[in-house]
């Protein structure tokens, strides 16, 4: 029996940081995309040697939405469907489903974590349903080092608190207060230090924590400020560690640093081994997937034609920024400027790729060897795209694997 450990959580706005991705042995790629035959999302396992992909569906009532390798185990993010009419009938005598739920109703619908057997396309029999979270809220989860081993961090009601669960047992070990932490990939994380509870501003710096939970570097506000383009240091929106674990990229959402800037993010590349020194900075329209971060360059997949509101304002207003088209993306290379302009990095668009056929970029991640990106093109006819990472790459060099619609 081939059993894959699955993470069954509804985590709005928090895609796994390593999806799609290769297994540690390099033989399998895991991703989640639409299954044209079943007409719902599925876990796809792509065999690198045979170049074939097979889908695995979640049990009835669940929807696959993300996947992440943790060591040799695969974690699948699933969303449990809510029968609002039944909930309304039970709790409100047939009244239409409320916009908020009572404690009794919340007990009906939970996030659940349990092992998943891909051969049976079902939960492992007798598996404990340990991790239970309410349906509403802005909770997010990620894997990071804690006390010398990987652990699951689940954001609490307060952004500065996390519930910490041991892996794979999922025993709740601690509720960590004053812990505003961001995943950085590879089990690393960034701990935001702030003067007050409002961590968006008043940032003192960040602590970079390795996969074992040990402090690797502290980056102070003075070093972060230039990467915010002259503004005071803000809370990073994203953090990404390099493959050699020598540098970390911190990205700052320009909507939240009140800056007239044409790009969605500004970012800085910081030297972990040299006390968190800022090496260079740049700007990009996307760091939401898993870019390839190196000491002297950053490669990423960017959505094309993203619109960013350039006006100043006193508070973040998401309605000002329309959703960008997601059917085209660009392979983009960032490098530091010359000595006097290293904080205004060079941005080079290698090529733009149009997916068409109502497909959209779902997620992307760099391959372990840094030779290419994996891009999930989701939609009625989903594809797995292999995008080469090199300066001379062209559209014709992209390889597309059709998922279930040949």
- For the chain (length 406 residues), average pLDDT per consecutive 10? 32 45 88 90 91 86 72 67 56 47 43 56 52 44 81 68 75 70 88 68 88 93 86 86 95 71 87 93 84 95 74 50 72 85 81 86 88 92 95 97 89
User: Residue 159, Cα to own-chain centre: how many angstroms?
Assistant: 17
Tell me, yes or no, if the pTM score tops 0.85. no
Question: How much is the pLDDT for 228?
Answer: 85
Question: How much is the pLDDT for 325?
Answer: 64
CA 277 – CA 291 distance, rounded (Å): 21
Q: Convert the pLDDT of each residue in 240-262 to its tens digit.
A: 999 999 999 999 988 765 556 77
Residues 6 or more apart whose Cβ sits within 8 Å of residue 219: 205, 206, 207, 208, 248, 250, 270, 276, 278
Question: How much is the pLDDT for 16?
Answer: 40
Q: Give me the helices (H) in 211-356, please.
A: 221-224
Q: Convert the pLDDT of each residue in 25-48 to its tens digit.
A: 888 998 988 999 998 888 899 999
Q: Convert the pLDDT of each residue in 176-224 to its tens digit.
A: 665 678 889 888 999 888 876 554 557 899 999 998 989 999 999 999 9
Question: How much is the pLDDT for 109?
Answer: 42
Question: How much is the pLDDT for 146?
Answer: 84
Which of 366, 368, 364 shows the shortest CA–CA distance to 389? 366
User: In the sheet where 114-117 sits, what is the strand order?
Assistant: 3-6, 114-117, 122-123
What are residue 387's phi and psi, to 5 degrees? -110, 115
CA 176 – CA 180 distance, rounded (Å): 9
- By DSSP bridging, strand 73-80 and strand 399-402 are unpaired
Question: How much is the pLDDT for 196?
Answer: 62
Q: Give me the helices (H) in 64-138, please.
A: 84-92, 103-108
What are the C-alpha distances in Å from 264 to residues 50, 87, 253, 285?
39, 40, 6, 5
What does the radius of gyration of the chain's CA atoms come to, in whole angstroms?
21
């Amino acid at each position: 029996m081939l059993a894959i450990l699955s993470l069954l959580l509804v985590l709005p706005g928090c895609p796994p940081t390593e999806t799609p991705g290769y297994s540690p042995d390099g033989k399998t790629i895991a991703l989640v995309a639409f299954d044209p035959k079943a007409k719902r999302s599925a876990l796809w396992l792509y065999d690198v040697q045979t170049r074939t992909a097979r889908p695995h569906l979640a049990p009835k009532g669940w929807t696959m939405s993300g996947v992440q390798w943790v060591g040799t185990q695969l974690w699948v993010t699933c969303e449990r469907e809510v029968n609002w009419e039944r909930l309304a009938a039970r709790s409100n005598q047939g009244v239409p489903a409320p916009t908020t739920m009572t404690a009794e109703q919340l007990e009906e619908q939970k996030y659940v974590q349990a092992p998943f057997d891909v051969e049976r396309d079902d939960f492992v029999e007798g598996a404990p349903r340990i991790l239970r979270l309410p349906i509403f809220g802005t909770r997010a989860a990620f894997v990071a080092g804690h006390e010398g081993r990987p652990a699951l961090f689940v954001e609490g009601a307060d952004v500065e608190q996390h519930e910490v669960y041991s892996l794979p047992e999922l025993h709740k070990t601690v509720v960590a207060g004053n812990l505003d932490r961001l995943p950085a990939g590879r089990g690393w994380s960034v701990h935001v230090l702030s003067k007050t509870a409002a961590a968006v501003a008043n940032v003192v710096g960040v602590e970079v924590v390795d996969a074992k939970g040990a402090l690797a570097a502290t980056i102070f506000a003075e070093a972060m400020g230039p990467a915010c383009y002259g503004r005071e240091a803000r809370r990073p929106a994203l953090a990404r560690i390099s493959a050699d674990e020598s540098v970390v990229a911190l990205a700052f959402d320009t909507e939240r640093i009140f800056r007239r800037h044409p790009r969605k993010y500004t970012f800085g590349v910081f030297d972990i081994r040299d006390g968190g020194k800022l090496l260079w900075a740049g700007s990009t329209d996307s760091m939401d997937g898993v870019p390839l971060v190196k000491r002297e360059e950053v490669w990423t997949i960017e959505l094309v034609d993203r619109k960013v509101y350039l006006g100043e304002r006193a508070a973040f207003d998401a309605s000002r920024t329309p959703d960008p088209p997601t059917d085209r993306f660009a392979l983009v290379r960032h490098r530091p400027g010359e000595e006097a302009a290293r904080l205004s990095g060079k941005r080079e668009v290698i090529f733009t790729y149009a997916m068409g056929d109502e497909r959209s970029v779902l997620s992307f991640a760099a391959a372990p060897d840094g030779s290419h990106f994996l891009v999930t093109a989701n939609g009625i006819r989903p594809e797995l795209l292999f995008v080469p990472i090199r300066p001379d790459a062209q559209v014709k060099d992209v390889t597309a694997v059709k998922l279930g619609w040949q």
